[in-house]
Structure 1
């Protein structure tokens, strides 16, 4: 067996060589360097009691994780060292987990508690082009400021409120990785959940609630309606729910409108309005959109309401603008109202020179 392997491993005369006529393979890869960001807010209550703790002694935040490493904020009420003037408070961010040559960007912010948003910010993020990320060599390595703020100025500032300081620290850990060409190509089909639910509505299988609308009966599924509409959820499952769900009567709505409403709730799209109304006119489509907007508002279907509003904005005409404007006012459709008012204010429309939309 070993002999056969040794013999077959020998190059044959037909193997590729630099002088071969075959095209050389072309490959590529991309190096991507980015930051994994996170932040931590550290409140220091009882600041006055921390004074006198001693130079070089600190108050530490809870440990928090960013980019796979642990971090902690260190606040030195009496300063970090004597040689750097102990009349200052010091503030640092420290690596609190094992790691070597961890590269990161930092931002230390002393929050203004007066509401004026005049925060004291020291940011390493803004100096990346000048110096690049800061490298921490080992656990306990720190970045920050020994002279972060003069103590006397701090104690008379808006940063100190009710003997409390609030510090925010942002960390951006630098990560690099190399991406080669993809060796797969998987075509992912678009979602067809709307089609599947639509087929459920059309089949009527498993339906457990009925609605009578203008003499016509529609069957549906409680859970689907409750998931789509908070109004139906309250009507079917709330404390004041309808106990007779064999046939709930819906007042003040025409059957084609309710049918379109159900269609949208299952399919998540509008039906063919002309097919639904049996009228091949733009006026009929506009009228249907008006009624459907009111129904959408009634059942808190915000996406449907906006779709109808957008469609009506496109189809404003002389013979529908008055009813559309009243509808916009009643259902708080401010953009539709503005479009109607602009249409009415156009001099040509006021003179009635535009043709009435009937086709």
Structure 2
């Protein structure tokens, strides 16, 4: 009797290294805040959400690094099952990789779509593990996608039993696209009830959304201030491009301007940091801090140090000081920049501490 082998599934696997620089700064993120890495595996668009400071369920106050796999494929995409695996890597190879954690049975494309989490390691355990190198966490993540192949055509006499009817497996649960809808609302200006004037440009917005995201806007529009009844508000001491980026973040929780080449991104982050602090946008402040910490150069160090002092970012301030006094050549180069002149004029106490630290390292 002739026999044949028929593949019923197709598996695709992709492995990547993900780095989180400035890991210590992520400790101030709320438990529900995350960073996303975009992947394309098995014909599907995926996102790995990394929650760097998820709150533990116990009363000990522990915080954990947690991952979640999200399918961003559009409606109608082929159903599939997938798994997410992750372990911590030492890029210097001095330590062996941590034990791999894996979450299986993600079921995408059906009504019972999974929404599970991979609990990797506590922040306290990471801090003492030796895996953090230069305040950078390196993760090795693996996505495995199991696609269900079309049922092959087989002659009736070869089929010992009937195949169950699976027509119910057609509903698709879409990932959240709230940010996209709010971004379209901002762009269309539908229902806008306030207009901001910034450096000659006008921006239409919605008071309710602004108030939900910013305690300052909430106080202005619903706290008895004069702006409460106003349909036009002038914003001073802020550039139009900065306000546009801040407004886009308020509606979508994203900052595309920070994905520009590093020099432009750092410049925007410097301006956005001041705006975020002004309007109480803590998540945007943290995003800007991370971008600035990863973009410290001779040209930006003094300006970033001044911002860190003005907005009370102690870790960013320490990183700037460490860079400036790292070598006599770097210190001399920073002293020649315009940013240093601004630092000397606006933050004399910081300048004194900087020079004191430089003398201490020299000795």
TM-score (norm 2): 0.44
- Structure of higher CA gyration radius: 1
TM-score (norm 1): 0.45
| The structure with more helix, counted as a fraction of residues | 2
